[in-house]
Structure 1
Amino acid sequence: MGWEADLFGALDDLEQQAEAMYDAERAPELADRSRAEYQQVPLAARLMASVEREVTLHVTGLGAVAGRLDRVAHDWCLVAGPTGDWVVPLAAVAAVDGASERAVPQVAWSPLARLGLGSALRRLADAGERCVLHRLGGARHDGVLRRVGQDFVEVVEGDPPHVTLVAFTALVAVQSR
């Protein structure tokens, strides 16, 4: 029985060595696959996993917007902050602090997440809330959203009141008060 135990011990040892060699050979392949798969993850998927978390968005031309991430769609997000709610186009987000380590794949998103920036702005226009529209370059428009087109929004501002059209591509954030 002694030689059988030695034989099985040697075979077990060889099997463990073979497994370790296989794992060592596969580790770079798995790392490459992981990198290749991760390059398919959009910012919106990471933010979707961060809903209800406290985050800080660093917005191009505006600075930091901090608060609870309430909603994410494919091209915008909603942050509830101490100074009001912020609708931020994802194209204006330069960096995010406080995001989840995870991502939610698009197939798992609610159909509401497919609504574009125009839908969020229409909701603000319907509510008749006073808003501040922040544009690239630092310009601001303080007024009430009136109508929302395909790629622009009308804001009524000033005294006497006048209508300004603001292109979505120029918006970096909309702050409701």
Structure 2
Amino acid sequence: MGWEDELFALFDDLEHQASALFGAERDLEVADRSRAEYQQVGLAGRLMASVGAEATLGVVGVGALTGTIERVADGWLLLTSGDHDWVVAVAALATVEGASARSVPAVAWSPFTRLGLGSALRRIAEAREPCLLHLRDGTRHDGILGRVGADFCELMQGEGRRQLLVAFSALAAAQSHR
């Protein structure tokens, strides 16, 4: 092998080393950017990607609920489980098992997903169906939803239709029959 061949072999070796170093540096940068970007992902985005999937939710004051995530919106989700529909306050979620590994950014959500918890409760109230409200402290209240305000709802209880005002901040889930 002549000196020219040795020189070209040395240049090839240096080029491969530089390429390997560049690749390793790029891989570290991509991993670092991925971690930085992931901090922007919210629980609602992961739940949105899980619509249609079966999941087990750990809900404060309720316990474990297993069913299909049917809808996710601003501050709440709809879970169907057997003969029951559950409107669950996202703020009352402690755990989610079975969620998609993907997420959907809020800019890609339908305008209907911007409807808050009050909108979901108004639908139950309009149906005039009996429901069970589960609060975050573990208490439950049976009745028929009446009017729904900005941050509370009225639950009509018993034959005398006694009114119980329930703050959204205390509500974990509303359970209705289908």
**What TM-score comes out, normalization by structure 1 length?**
0.91
Q: How many equivalent pairs are there? A: 176
Partner of 2:164: 164
User: Which position in structure 1 is the counterpart of 2:148?
Assistant: 148
Residues 52-131 of structure 1 correspond to what in structure 2 (within 5 A)? 52-131=52-131
Q: Which amino acid aligns with 2:112?
A: L
- Contact (CA 8 Å) 2:60, 2:93: kept in 1 or not? yes
Large movers: runs of 4+ above 6 Å: 2-9
* Pairwise CA RMSD: 1.9
Q: Percent same amino acid at aligned positions?
A: 60
Which residue is 2:18 aligned to? 18
Letter in 1 for 2:161: P
Give the whole-Å Cα distance in 1 for the aligned partners of 2:10 and 2:126.
Answer: 77
Q: Are 1:44 and 2:60 an aligned pair?
A: no
TM-score, length of structure 2 as denominator length: 0.91
For the residues of structure 1 that align with 2:153 and 2:137, how far apart are their CA atoms? 18
Contact 2:152 2:168 (8 Å CA) reproduced: yes
Give me the whole-angstrom Cα distance separating, in 2, the residues matched to 1:43 and 1:123: 24
Alpha-carbon deviations, 1:98-132, whole Å to 9, x = none? Answer: 00000001111000111000000001111111110
Gaps of at least 5 residues in structure 2 are none
Deviation at 1:17, TM superposition (A): 2.3
- Whole-Å separation in 2 of the counterparts to 1:169 and 1:127: 23
2:40 alignment partner, SS class? coil
